[in-house]
Chain A
């Protein structure tokens, strides 16, 4: 078991009233290594919140997250940062590439916090390998501004994989792309999921995109229901 969510709750103050809005209301989920799942749901259903909690960017109000046998609630900020850096890869709807850095530099950005020389070793060649894998060798020294939206998102995907994470979290990764590019990205994610045995959690509102994953869940009324 790579990841286990147990009874996760998250609530936000309601914007319209004094009430509290329960976004996540006892979510539990198990994910095995190399498994790919899709979490579906309409906008505002709490999909991104769940993903951020899994990725430790956000904290749940209650519940447990166990990753590789370790309870993440006990982690310090520093350990959480290291956890995100070494075990989790993020892909967002926007590529969020650093505009001032070239393609290869963007891919290498997650390697900067690595302290262990062993981990740092071969980063550059791995980056080149990943760039090659997504067909952007020619553009490796280009700035993101010169790439298309689909190309940028491909760079964002391999950036998420540069540190060989065990878990890849993709939050609407195709939301800004046309259908063709969207399918390419999903195919890429699946391919990398398989090749690198990385677990993949894909958040999307599109059933078509979600259908490529091994399991599909729907987040409804704060509850995660497998469909």
Chain B
């Protein structure tokens, strides 16, 4: 050990300049490696922080989609079950100020009560609302130019127990307006970021007293969410059991009524149509229970006589309490007189079938009159008419608001009299089976269920129904939001991996540079190693001496690199929060360097660095003492075959990949091409290694300037190779990223592009309930016929686009009319069974009872969801059943990014209550965009239309990709700088090593310009080889982009990049060489 110490310390001191360079090389490699690892830590911790900011101490959320329950349920859960809970009524709204000068759509209007702060204690701000006060988040204040005390007008979606598009529901009163005053403005640390969706971006929040919001909705203290902040020992099952314990029929929107004349009990729903789940549950309680379906028909007609707008009930209305036979009808005396018909006559009824988006079709059906009954007993029950707002509460027929067209001219005085006398008492009765066939719809098949009171009491019925119908079976859900949020944060985009990928070439360049520097240093020490060997130092002792020295070089390098990693991390975070904000969309990111990760990174770097240096030492030690001392030129033959066959195999794989992609595969896979490009680079590097060895061994028949150049090129194979590798890697990265930037404006009009050829993509805060393509609606709304719409339904979920850093599991579902997308968009991958000519058609076929096909952007499938085509996503549908969406195809980057697409009809099968559409794809003239935008903004102002040009939307997503490419480009640029630095070092070292050779050339008559030319060419060839092959590999890697009409890969850019690389390289070569040659090198020929 003494010998080692005696040797090492003077050596470290003597070669301090070289050692400083090596330590810097080590530090750069450590910085890149450790820095990338710690970036991931910081992102993860920032996302976790964002989860706490948006949820406070909320652990679970119980929610209903378009269903409302008693807000007092939360209080009962707190008082009786000791569960820390608070109710929320959360709706969507639009805010405006200064008479509409500023408008903000898609605001979360959150109705809260005083329990909010006590239940969610991490929110410490006082929530005492003064009269007419709302609290708003900072971003709302910013967007609407608001300060405390300012007025704000809110248009809030009208919450209703009845689905908005249920038959006969009027589309009026979609929203309620409120003029309020800003009481407090909440920052991100307070309630400002409150959000039940998994996202790092801040939503627009307005908090309002629950009671006020309820009164505006016409509710009696309702809520649609309960937040739970609970102990760890409570799980979802316990919570659901407790909810079920306090659950009432009112929470299910059910009412039990006694039927007139003591004829039993009837169950009705506030939602008009009764969920099939409930019907089945009732039938389990009483198998003899029977459904009734009462429907408004347009006319009862016989001959030329007509009774307009009457209710017809379907059910067991025979006097014997049996069902009426098919095609038979019982009418009341009033109708018989009105139509002058008698038993045995035929009667035609006409009625509207109300399809999706209120598309109406008028149908008719003939019945045979089997009985004419007086308006009494079971035929005189007003309650058979469902409670439909706008109808059942209308004073007279002319006040009806039905949601279907009513021709008031057809209403006669006698009809008004009937309404006054009997209200909506049905005038005709048909069998339930017949009525169900005619009028069943996605909201239900009956408007009431009747039971005989002889079987059970109301209380018993209620008890048994509450025992058998679970909240989840009606579409209510309990989500472990905190846990899901943290899992999403931890499973989100792995920035460590991402930046490791982005920095990979930089890391390799750093290691090559470090190895280069160390190797150059070792070369200085060759004679010393030889001398030690000659002096009888054992191989082991010399190894230990160098190992010790290497450790002494690596430790400060790694420590310095660790320190620089924190700086690197900080720089990246500064960039992410500013210039690279596109990819994170939040400002809550903070660097959080975990000491464990830092040490891990430094440890890995130490190991890699040690191994790299050690390999170099071992290689040098393997030379003979004589060889080391003579500094002879050694030609290495070792591994020549490995290089040759390695390059052949690698090249063969490249060819196979290309053949497969071009001739066999359906579409050009960008990933495979990038792999092919990378492998080509590897092939080239292996071949270059082989070629350098091979060429350096050859003989020249005629010795020329070129022969000398070639000899010089390979004086030091390792050095030459490293320069080639550094430049080929750097060029590969810079070209492949620089040219792969997407510019979608060019192909935006094409239907096959990511815009689908649509002009605008729009989302509305409030749903659009009607079919916008119907000529009547177009005319009513004052739109041009050149504007076309594809309307999409939305089932809320998390954003799975690249704008969300979390890994979500249930992205937003869009229900699309598949037929309308034929020939639009392009697919990267589709299931082999799908017709490639019209993949959209495949969405229409249900795969299994609860499995439906779905499409999503391939990038969403791969990166946002961590899935692949063929995988499934699991949701809970409106019936509480598991709904599996099987991904059968991946779209090319599109405006749908972040969503999962299913067919509208299958969507409605599982989410029947869904009313209206919130996403619009708008066709229109591209040359008249601004005018069209103006018209649409005016038409949909009340719905809170957020509209953007489809190409802009696509570019928002592609901006993320482009930002990643910018980072890649930047880091590739750093790799090139390292390459240039390495080149400079190699030139200096080569010239210093060959100073005598240059001197002798001068002595034998070479002019300085010849020597300059020789040296410039020697290094220039390495530069050119590296750059050219890096460029070829890059072009191969981005072939799909080059031939894509949506990517503006510019040859000019490529030429500029290559030109800059070459010019920069040659500039340094010439500068350094000239400076050195300016000295009188012949002095080095002296031996005195």
Contacts and interface: CB of A to CB of B under 8 A. Distances in A.
A136 interface: no
A145 B1087 contact: no
Given A105-B703, A108-B703, A82 B1005 contact: yes
Most A CB atoms within 10 A — which of B1001, B1002, B1088? B1088
Contacts of A85: 1004-1006
A110 B711 contact: no
A101 B711 contact: yes
Interface string B350-394: 000000000000000000000000000000000000000000000
B437 interface: no
B632 A141 contact: no
A119 to B, nearest CB: 12
Contacts of A77: 1007-1008
A14 interface: no
Interface stretch (A29-37, A89-97, A210-218): A89-97
Interface string B992-1012: 000011011111111110100
Interface stretch (B301-309, B563-571, B969-977, B1078-1086): B1078-1086
Given A44-B1088, A92-B1085, A172-B1087, A101 B708 contact: yes
A109 B705 CA distance: 9
B1004 A90 contact: yes
Chain B interface residue bracket vs A: 35 or more
B64 to A, nearest CB: 82
Contacts of B1000: 90, 92, 96, 98
Contacts of B696: 100
Contacts of B703: 101, 104-105, 108-109, 111-112, 124
Contact of A105 (B700, B1003, B1007): B700
A149 B634 CA distance: 17
Given A143-B633, A172-B1087, A90 B1003 contact: yes
A52 B997 contact: no
A113 B703 CA distance: 12
A44 B703 CA distance: 38
Contacts of A93: 1086-1088
B777 interface: no
Nearest to A48: B1086
Nearest to A89: B1004
B782 to A, nearest CB: 85
Given A112-B704, A112-B708, A81 B632 contact: no
A50 B708 CA distance: 31
Given A48-B1088, A99-B715, A145-B634, A57 B708 contact: no
Given A43-B1088, A78-B1007, A109 B702 contact: no
A83 B999 CA distance: 16
Contacts, number: 115
A172 B1085 CA distance: 11
A105 B709 CA distance: 12
B712 interface: yes
Contacts of A171: 1085-1086
B142 interface: no
B1005 A145 contact: no
Given A58-B1080, A98-B711, A100-B714, A81 B1085 contact: no
Given A43-B1088, A100-B633, A84 B1080 contact: no
A83 B1004 CA distance: 9
A62 to B, nearest CB: 19
A181 interface: no
Contacts of A58: 1080, 1082
A86 interface: yes
A124 B701 CA distance: 10
A90 B999 CA distance: 11
A102 interface: yes
B633 A55 contact: no
B999 A102 contact: no
A104 B1005 CA distance: 18
A4 interface: no
B1087 A109 contact: no
B874 interface: no
Interface range for A? 35 or more
A132 interface: no
B786 interface: no
A222 interface: no
Given A99-B633, A172-B1087, A84 B1004 contact: yes
Contacts of B1082: 52, 57-58
A197 interface: no
A98 B705 contact: no
B637 interface: no
A96 B1087 CA distance: 11
Contacts of A89: 1004
A184 interface: no
Nearest to B702: A124
A92 B1087 contact: yes
A122 to B, nearest CB: 13
A145 B1007 contact: no
A85 B1001 CA distance: 9
A144 B1004 contact: no
A157 B630 CA distance: 20
Interface in B975-1032: 996-997, 999-1008, 1010
Nearest to B1082: A57
Contacts of B714: 100
A170 to B, nearest CB: 12
A81 B635 CA distance: 33
Nearest to B708: A112
B420 interface: no
Contact of A100 (B715, B1008, B1080, B1088): B715
A135 interface: no
A99 B632 contact: yes
A159 B1004 contact: yes
A57 B1005 CA distance: 10
A139 interface: no
B1080 A96 contact: no
Contacts of A104: 703
Contact of A84 (B635, B712, B1005): B1005
Contacts of B999: 96
Contact of B1001 (A109, A141, A163): A109
Contacts of A172: 1087-1088
Nearest to B1080: A58
Interface string B1051-1082: 00000000000000000000000000000101
Contacts of B707: 105
Nearest to A87: B1005
23 contacts: A43-B1088, A48-B1088, A58-B1082, A84-B1004, A94-B996, A96-B996, A96-B997, A96-B1000, A96-B1085, A98-B1000, A100-B696, A100-B711, A100-B714, A100-B715, A101-B703, A104-B703, A105-B700, A105-B707, A108-B703, A110-B1004, A112-B708, A113-B1006, A145-B630
For the complex of A and B, 9 pairs with smallest distance between CB atoms: A85-B1005, A145-B632, A99-B633, A93-B1087, A110-B1004, A57-B1082, A81-B1007, A96-B1000, A84-B1005
Interface of A: 43-44, 48, 52, 55, 57-58, 77-78, 81-86, 88-90, 92-94, 96, 98-102, 104-105, 108-113, 124, 141, 143-145, 159-160, 163, 171-172, 175-176
Given A90-B1000, A90-B1004, A144-B632, 14 more contacts: A57-B1002, A78-B1007, A81-B1006, A82-B1005, A85-B1006, A92-B1003, A94-B1085, A96-B997, A96-B1085, A99-B633, A109-B708, A111-B703, A113-B1006, A113-B1010
